[in-house]
Amino acid sequence: MGAAGCVTTQPPPNRLLVHVDTLDPEKLAQFEQARVQFVSVLRARHKSDRRGLYIKVGTNTYWSVTSFARWRELEQIGDERAKVTRALARESEAYDKLCDETLVFPHASELWREEPALSYVPTGRRLTDAVQLVIEDVKPTADYEAAWKPIAAALAQAKFPVERRTFFSSYGSGRTLSFWLASSPAVLKAAPTLQQVLTSVVGEERAQALLAAWRACVLSSQTLEVEAKPEMSSD
CATH number of the domain located at residue range(s) 15-112 in this protein: 3.30.70.100
Determine the average pLDDT of the residues in 146-164.
98
Provide the pLDDT for residue 1. 41
- Given a cut of 80, is residue 4 above it in pLDDT? no
| 103-114 and 176-181 strand pairing | unpaired
3 to 8, 9, 11, 197: CA distances (angstroms): 9, 13, 18, 44
Considering Cα of 149, then 151, then 154, then 159, what sign does the dihedral take? negative
| pLDDT score of 8 | 53
Whether residue 9 is predicted with pLDDT greater than 90 in this model: the reply is: no
Indicate if the pLDDT at residue 166 is higher than 80: yes
Q: Are 137 and 175 in contact (CB under 8 A)?
A: yes
**Interval 150-172 mean pLDDT:** 98
- Averaged pLDDT score across all residues of the chain: 95
DSSP designation for 193: P
Question: What pLDDT, on the 0 to 100 scale, is given for residue 10?
Answer: 63
Inform me whether the pLDDT recorded for 3 exceeds 50: no
pLDDT tens-digit profile of 187-200?
999 999 999 999 99
Closest C-alpha among 30, 46, 88, 19 to residue 235: 46
Q: What is the pTM of this model?
A: 0.93
Task: Identify the residue with better confidence: 220 or 7.
Answer: 220
pLDDT in tens, 67-124: 999 999 999 999 999 999 999 999 999 999 999 999 999 999 999 999 999 999 999 9
DSSP state of 151: H
Angle separating helix axes 72-87 and 89-100, nearest 10 degrees: 110
Whether the domain at 15-112 and the domain at 115-228 fall into the same CATH topology: yes
Per-residue confidence band for 203, with pLDDT thresholds at 50, 70 and 90: very high
Domain borders along the chain are 15-112, 115-228
CA distances from 178 to 3, 115, 133, 164 (A): 38, 9, 6, 6
Q: CATH for 115-228, among 3.40.50.280, 3.30.70.100, 3.40.50.150, 3.40.50.300?
A: 3.30.70.100
